[in-house]
Structures are given as structure tokens and as C-alpha cells.
Structure 1
Amino acid sequence: MKRKAGRARPAPGMAGLRHPTQMIATAFAAAVLIGSVLLSLPVATESGTRADYVDALFTSTSAVCVTGLITVDTPAYWSTFGEVVILVLIQAGGLGIMTLATLFAVLVSRRLGLRARLLAQAETKSLTLRDLRRVVRNIVMFSLGTEAVVAALLTTAFVAGHDQPPGRALYDGVFHAVSAFNNAGFSLNSDSLMRYVGDPWVSLTICVAVVVGGLGFPVIFELLRSWRSPRTWSVLTRLTLGLTGALLVAGTVVITLAEYTNPGTLGPLSSPQKWLAGFFASVNARTAGFNSIDVAAQGPESLLATDILMFIGGGSAGTAGGIKVTTFGVLAFVIWAEMRGEPGVTVGRRRIPDTNQRQALALVLMSVGVVVCATFVLLGVSDYGLDRLLFEAVSAFATVGLSTGITADLPRAGQCVLIALMFIGRIGPLTLASALALRNRTRRYELPEERTIVG
């Protein structure tokens, strides 16, 4: 009997991976597992003994998901081999596993199939498939170029301002440049960047790298093309730049004023250094994870402000995490339109589609649900208070890496919760949900409409 014509059957081994986002989730998971195996090798530790696998898995997840949370002291525990593995995982996670795979396909075969282009589109958030190979090449070239410039500036600062040997300064400069641009927050110093709290050269260089990496590649490329014509900017660019600037200013003011007289944080610093440290804290709360002041000594006001900044995060399609400023901006304009009684939501002279509004609402509600559930579990398995555990959960989910110093002291169950949060936060709640779905469902009919009471 002849087989009826229909859709082509998936290739062996691919039957369970029908959606591009499933491939992305699988690729990130594979990278995490490979990294954990490498970090489990005796050569990866300073002591020459095998690392506990949970520590290796936690560090690998934190690196691939560009988070920065750690259960062991990076410079003291990991050897040079282990640090290089962490650096490679950060770079791979920041660029995106699918972006790297697409680049390799272009370089090797000079051809790119539709399936591979769809995979790369899903990872890079490209709005069209046109010239995707050029887009991926530009992403990699821009990333490596920016990291090289930042590394050169940091190396010079370490040599000229802190008397480091040139070789060590170069190593530190490259590591921190990659970590900063990819918003990872890993440092080769046990105190992160607290030793540079009053150094504007180091602090501002790190801040610029964090902000550029967190803007998102579509915004960066649009600015490079039409920076002289703001009126032609897309809604994405306007929302990202406007809200990024507003959040940086608000975060700087709130954190600086809240910690101004705190003897454990900004109190001993001069006035200019206080504002520099406050700005640094505001920038790095947007998912970078470096700290130049003691987070554990911060007051509840600045911790809450940091929670909010971490949860919002940075720009779409960049190296930052969180729900993204565009999501926050869309919901803000939805509220504004509802308060004014407008029939639609507009940003500038553009209308935001209903689908975007639903996506933003779903993303925020799912994110809140994940953070709340994780915090509830952490409360059950540890003895720390709500403020610290909520801070830890938001930091992990938003792939920030800031901590009040309790990560290593959490029980293994709590650390496994953070591993799950980092993974979910990196690939995105909606991406994870769509990866679990085999296909989109369509309804060929409409039900009668009935209004309900809201509020």
C-alpha cells in the first residue's frame, strides 16, 4: 500500500527536536554538561584533586548562562586551566551556542540551510532571515573587537595604575573584558572589583563594556547605521536606550543616597568616589554581577532597588538577562494607554501589536512565578531570611551574579535550585515553554465574548 503524501519525517535523532528553541535549550544544556566535565578534571583545580561535581556543574552553568554566581572562590580554587575553561564557556554562552554553530557552518561550507538559519534567527532575535550570515559575522566581529579594546584599556590600567606585571595584567585584562562584555560578572579577584572602587579608569571601562554588551545586537547595529537620525530609530532602539538611561540614573541616585553614610559600603569614600561606586552598582545590577562595594553590607533599601534593576535586566538579543527593558517598557506603555483610555498602545508613532503585549505580560507573570516558587523552596531548605534568599533567586534568574555572600553556604538542594534558575533565566521562560511544545496550536473558530470584572 502506498504511503500518503504528507510532511517529511524528521531525521533520526531529531524527532523530539522539532522547534528551533528546543535545539537552543539542548545546545545550552550540552555546553553546561561539557563544561562541568572539564571542570571536574583534576587539572582544573589548584589542589590537583577532582572538584565536587555540584561545584563544577554550578560553575559551568553560571559561566554558560553568563551569570557569575559562584560556590567556590574562582582565583583560589580553579587553576589556570579551569579559569580558561570558564572564560571559553562565558564567551560561548554570551555569543550564543547557535550563533557560533552558524558561524562555523558559514566558514566551513559557505552554505547555510534554512533550518540552520531558523536556529540562528531564534538565538540572535533577528526579525528576518535576510543576510543572516552577514548578521552573525557582524555579531562575532563586533563582540571580539569590543572585547579587544576593553582588554587593552584594562591591561593598561592594571600596569600603569596598579603596578601589575605586563603578563598578568594582560591575562586579567582579557578575562575581565570578556566577562564584562558578556555580562558574566566572573572575576579573578576574590573581592570581585572592590579594590578598584575609587579607580575611574577601571570602573568606567567595565561599565561601558557592560552597557554595550547589554544593549543588544539589533540596537547596536541600528545605532551604527543611523546614529545621526534618531527619528528613524525603531521602537526597539527607542525603548532600549530610553529605559536604559532612565534606569541607570534612577539606580545610581537611589543606591548612592541609600548607602551614602553606610560605613560598610560608601561611607568611607569621598563624594566623587561615592557617586562613581553608586553608578558602578547601578550598571552592574543590570545583569553584569561585578561589585565594587560589599553587597552583604548594603541596607534593605538599596538591596530592594537592586532586586528591581536585576529583574528588569538589559536589552533584548544582548548578553544581559532579566525580563528585558523592552518587556518592561511595553507593559509601562500598556498601563499608560489604559489610564488614558486609549484604544491601542503606541510608542512614538508606532502601534504595539496585541501579540507583543500578550507576550510581555506572559513573560513577566511567568518570571514572577518562577522567582517566587524558587524563593519559597530556598526558604524551606535554608535558614536565611527572605531578603537575602529573594536577592539570590532574582540574581540567579536574571543571570546577574550579585550575591550577599550566601551562595556557597546554601545546602546542595538550594544550589541546585539556583542552577535551574540560571538555566531558565538564560534561555528565557517563553523560549523554554515553546521548546517543550511540539507545535503551535491554532483555533479555527471564535467563542462568544463575555466581559468579566477586573479589580
Structure 2
Amino acid sequence: MSSLHFSIRRRRFSPPAVLATIYAVFIVLGAIALWLPFSSADHVTFSDAFFTAASAVTVTGLVVVDTGSDYTLIGQIIIAFLIQIGGLGLMTFAALLFTMLGLTIGMPQRLILRDELGQTGVSELLALVRVVILVAFTAEAIATAILMFVFVPEFGWTHGFWQALFHAISAFNNAGFSLFSDSLSGYVADPVVNITITLLFILSGLGFVVLADINRQRNWRKLTLHSKLMLSGTLGLILFAWVMFAILEWSNPATLGGLESDAARILASWFQAVTPRTAGFNTLDYAQMENSTTVMTLSLMLVGGGPSSTAGGIKVTTLIVLALATLAFFRRQERLNIFGRSLGMSEVMKVLALTALSIFLVAIGLFLASTTYKGDFLDLLFEVCSAFGTVGLSRGATGELDEFGRAVIVLIMFVGRLGPLTLAFFLATQSKPKVGYPEGKVFLG
């Protein structure tokens, strides 16, 4: 009986469970703060505030009310705070505070921090925390200063500064929240806004482990295998999406075809090529895009960015290992080889589990949401994939969801931010089989 009680307590207070609880508490507190009269307009309901808080903490960017007009300056500051906390990680800020106060961070807290940063060990966590904070605040400060050159002449010093700071925070954390009702569509041909915003979410989407490795080594040959996979995979996905988006939408009068110059079309193609990998901003209307472009965007949203980053999705490294495993199967190789390194079966099994679980969660979420949603099926699929990848792009279905549909999207955003494997490790039990069985054969394919 005592051993059972210990097992229950150990599961209840496991690091993934504590991490999920902390995020849930911040969503509830954020919802209450956004619902108060000084934060939002009178017509904003608690359901609206809860959805906004969940979207901010999970750095998704899906909205049911207009952020710029339906929330006051205080409400917008609360949203920016939730984005920053959710993007960089709640335990990251806690670890920084403990360090500044000279307090010791115990092993239980290190285990929670390890899960939040997507690491496998605890030896260099505090060094990584310092990298996260330094890179985030430096990048956001520089981006704010650059964006002020655009927003200050248009809105004045005070409002222009806030516009620049809010969008810098939202972009670096891959949140996709904008104070404009049409996101950044009004700046579709502005090179300063397009390049600054995209560089922010590409930088943070690489993952802080990669950034720390680049800063430490500064030589391609000395980089870790993970960094090489992330850099090459990110570059490949961006170039592929950039070219394909331009080809598919070039003559569409509702998107690229409606822009005045080829330079604007190329710039808009660049922005739409990189934003689906969990950034969430848009300079063109995704509801007006070709079906082929929508399908490509769905795939990019599911892939996402890198581990230990502000991005969601199954991650770029997962896609690469999955492709390598498929290639190795056809070549009848037992190990995966790339960049002079090999990957074993444990990595392949983890990738297969993550991919299968992600597909299952998206399918279940789509089914549940479709039971009450009466609109276009492709629009709903787009919203579900956007929620799971914590992207924030929308074709308009989010605003048409009822309370049940909103709850489903919130749950998907929550799982997408924590990570499917974190949820699985929380629910699973580790045990060794007491009985061995002879091998059997199953016919596949």
C-alpha cells in the first residue's frame, strides 16, 4: 500500500505534471487579468479573455477579439507579458530570479527546467538560461529600435514605441499577436518591417541550444550534429517554401498578383514562406490563397521550428530524422548516417512516437471541433494545425467557433506548447517486463 501511495505521489508531482500545472495557472490568472474592466472593452467576455490568455501563454496568436482595439494599453501590456513568459519559459525566469538572489536551485526545479527547455541533462541548464535571457532581451531591444523608424513617424513617439516593442516581443517569441486588425498586411511592401520581423522569429526558432553552440564554436566543422541539422534543415525549408509560394501565388490577384511590383511580390513571398513555421504573422490574406498553397502551409505549420526554441510543431530535427530513417529503410541500413555522425534506434523510435502522437492529436482535435463547426472543412483543418503548431495563422474559422470548439482549440494549443512527448511521458509509466516472449512477425505495407 505504501509503495502504491509513493508511486501516485511521484506521478502527481513529476516534472511534466508540474510544468503543465504552472502553465495552466498562468493562463487562468492571465484570463482574469484580461477580463477586468481596466484591461478590455465591455463586450469582451471571460471566454474571450481566457482564449486570449491561453493563446498568449502558448505563444500561438489565434484570437477571437481584436487585440489592438478590444484591449486597453494595460491589457496589451498583460498580453505582452504573457507572451514573454510563455515563449521563454516560466521556469527560465524563475531560475534567473533564483540566481540573481543567490538562491540554490534544487534538483526538482532543475528537472522541471530541463523539460521546459527540451534538454536531456541538467549539467548546463543555468548556462543555457543565461543565453536564453541575453539573446531574447538583446534581440528584442535591437528590433524595437529598428521598428521605431517605421512606427514613430506614423504614430508618434509614445504609440510608435509601444507598437515597435509589442511586435518585437511577439515576433521573437513566435507568438503572432499584432495590434493591427489585419496583422502586418499594411506593411506588405515595407522591407524594414518584413526583414526585422522575420529575422526575429527565424533566430528564436533555431533554438537557444543552437545559438549557444554557434556563439561557442563559430566554426561549422565544430558545431554539434544537432546544430548542423537545424541550420541546414531550416535553410532548406525556407528556400523551398519561398520559391514554391512565389510560383503558386504569383498570378493570384487576391494575394501576390494584387501587389504593384515584382519586388513587393518577392518580399511578400519571403514573409509568407517563413511565417508558417510557428511565427503567426501575415502580410497577405491566407483565406484567399490557392488550395495548393494552403496544403503547403499546413505542412510547414506541423513541422515548426527547433527544439528548445520559442517555436512549436514536431520540430525540424524530427522531420530530418524521419526522412533519414525512411531512406535508411530502403537502403537496408541499420543506422542513420549524416554529417559524419550516426543515429541509433532510440532516436528513430522517439521520432516515430512523436510523429504518430502528433498526427493522432491533430486528428482527434479536428474530429471534436468538427462536431459543432458548420463552416468550411479546410478552414477548420487550418485552424487545428495552426493551434497544434502554436502558429497563429488563421483562415477565419477561430472567430466562428462556439464554446466547445474554443475549448478544443485551447487544449490543442496547450498540448502543442508543452509538446506531445511531454504529455506522453507524464501519462506513461516506466516498467520492465517480467516475462519475455518469443518474437512474432507482422506483415506490413
Task: Pick the TM interval, shorter chain.
Answer: over 0.9
Question: Does residue 236 of structure 1 match 2:229?
Answer: no
Question: Could you tell me how far 1:374 is from its partner in structure 2?
Answer: 1.5
The residue aligned with 1:44 is: 39
Question: Could you tell me how far 1:129 is from its partner in structure 2?
Answer: 2.0
Alpha-carbon separation, structure 2, partners of 1:201 and 1:294: 20
The Cα offsets for residues 243-270 of structure 1, whole Å up to 9 and x where unpaired, read as: 1111111111111211111111111221
Deviates more, 1:285-294 or 1:162-171: 162-171
Report the AA paired with residue 369 of structure 2.
L
The residue aligned with 1:441 is: 431
Report if aligned partners of 1:69, 1:396 keep a CA contact under 8 Å in 2. yes
The residue aligned with 2:443 is: 453
The residue aligned with 1:30 is: 25
Report the AA paired with residue 29 of structure 1.
A
The Cα offsets for residues 24-67 of structure 1, whole Å up to 9 and x where unpaired, read as: 1111111111111111111111x3x3731111110000000000
From 274, 283, 301, the equivalent of 2:265 is 274
Equivalent residue of 2:283, what SS? coil
Alpha-carbon separation, structure 2, partners of 1:244 and 1:94: 20
Deviates more, 1:230-239 or 1:70-79: 230-239
Equivalent residue of 1:351, what SS? strand
**After the TM superposition, which residues 338-417 of structure 1 pair with which residues of structure 2 at under 5 Å, given as runs?**
338-417=329-408
The Cα offsets for residues 298-335 of structure 1, whole Å up to 9 and x where unpaired, read as: 11011111000000000111000010001111101001
Alpha-carbon separation, structure 2, partners of 1:179 and 1:30: 21
Report if aligned partners of 1:25, 1:435 keep a CA contact under 8 Å in 2. no
Report if aligned partners of 2:32, 2:49 keep a CA contact under 8 Å in 1. yes
Deviates more, 1:238-247 or 1:128-137: 128-137
Question: Could you tell me how far 1:126 is from its partner in structure 2?
Answer: 3.1
The residue aligned with 2:16 is: 21
Report the AA paired with residue 249 of structure 1.
L
The residue aligned with 1:326 is: 317
Distance 1:242 1:38, change over 3 A: same
Question: Could you tell me how far 1:15 is from its partner in structure 2?
Answer: 5.7
Question: Could you tell me how far 1:444 is from its partner in structure 2?
Answer: 5.0
Question: Could you tell me how far 1:109 is from its partner in structure 2?
Answer: 3.6
Report if aligned partners of 1:42, 1:50 keep a CA contact under 8 Å in 2. no
Equivalent residue of 1:43, what SS? coil
The residue aligned with 1:262 is: 252
Alpha-carbon separation, structure 2, partners of 1:98 and 1:447: 43
Provide the TM-score with structure 2 as the length reference.
0.95
Report if aligned partners of 1:22, 1:436 keep a CA contact under 8 Å in 2. no
Distance 1:232 1:451, change over 3 A: farther
The residue aligned with 2:176 is: 185
Alpha-carbon separation, structure 1, partners of 2:134 and 2:177: 22
Question: Could you tell me how far 1:205 is from its partner in structure 2?
Answer: 0.4
Report if aligned partners of 2:379, 2:396 keep a CA contact under 8 Å in 1. no
The residue aligned with 1:301 is: 292
Report the AA paired with residue 199 of structure 1.
D
Question: Could you tell me how far 1:377 is from its partner in structure 2?
Answer: 2.2
The Cα offsets for residues 164-206 of structure 1, whole Å up to 9 and x where unpaired, read as: 3122111011100000000000001111000000011110100
Question: Does residue 156 of structure 1 match 2:149?
Answer: yes
Alpha-carbon separation, structure 1, partners of 2:434 and 2:280: 47
Question: Could you tell me how far 1:359 is from its partner in structure 2?
Answer: 1.0
Alpha-carbon separation, structure 2, partners of 1:415 and 1:76: 21
The residue aligned with 2:74 is: 81
Report the AA paired with residue 454 of structure 1.
L
Deviates more, 1:120-129 or 1:168-177: 120-129
Report the AA paired with residue 245 of structure 2.
I
Alpha-carbon separation, structure 2, partners of 1:310 and 1:29: 24
Alpha-carbon separation, structure 2, partners of 1:266 and 1:202: 18
RMSD: 2.0
Alpha-carbon separation, structure 2, partners of 1:202 and 1:421: 30
Equivalent residue of 2:358, what SS? helix
The residue aligned with 2:126 is: 133
Equivalent residue of 2:279, what SS? coil
Alpha-carbon separation, structure 2, partners of 1:222 and 1:140: 15
The residue aligned with 1:145 is: 138
Report the AA paired with residue 155 of structure 1.
M
The Cα offsets for residues 258-304 of structure 1, whole Å up to 9 and x where unpaired, read as: 11111111112211111110110111100000000011111101111
The residue aligned with 1:286 is: 277
Alpha-carbon separation, structure 2, partners of 1:315 and 1:232: 19
Report the AA paired with residue 156 of structure 1.
F
Deviates more, 1:442-451 or 1:177-186: 442-451
The number of aligned residues is: 444
Alpha-carbon separation, structure 2, partners of 1:376 and 1:245: 34
The Cα offsets for residues 198-224 of structure 1, whole Å up to 9 and x where unpaired, read as: 011110100000100111010111111
Alpha-carbon separation, structure 2, partners of 1:271 and 1:362: 44
From 90, 93, 103, the equivalent of 1:97 is 90
Question: Does residue 211 of structure 1 match 2:206?
Answer: no
From 233, 237, 241, the equivalent of 1:247 is 237
Gaps of 5+ in 1: none
Alpha-carbon separation, structure 1, partners of 2:101 and 2:35: 32
Report if aligned partners of 1:151, 1:174 keep a CA contact under 8 Å in 2. yes
The residue aligned with 2:111 is: 118
Alpha-carbon separation, structure 2, partners of 1:32 and 1:292: 28
Report the AA paired with residue 153 of structure 1.
I
Equivalent residue of 1:346, what SS? strand
Equivalent residue of 2:390, what SS? coil
Report if aligned partners of 1:63, 1:86 keep a CA contact under 8 Å in 2. yes
Deviates more, 1:325-334 or 1:377-386: 377-386
The residue aligned with 2:421 is: 430
Report if aligned partners of 2:56, 2:86 keep a CA contact under 8 Å in 1. yes
Distance 1:15 1:109, change over 3 A: farther
Structure 1 moving runs of 4+ over 4 Å: 6-10, 13-16
Alpha-carbon separation, structure 1, partners of 2:43 and 2:11: 35
Gaps of 5+ in 2: none
The Cα offsets for residues 114-135 of structure 1, whole Å up to 9 and x where unpaired, read as: 1111211111123432242222
Report if aligned partners of 1:40, 1:50 keep a CA contact under 8 Å in 2. no
**After the TM superposition, which residues 58-77 of structure 1 pair with which residues of structure 2 at under 5 Å, given as runs?**
58-77=51-70
Report if aligned partners of 1:192, 1:291 keep a CA contact under 8 Å in 2. yes
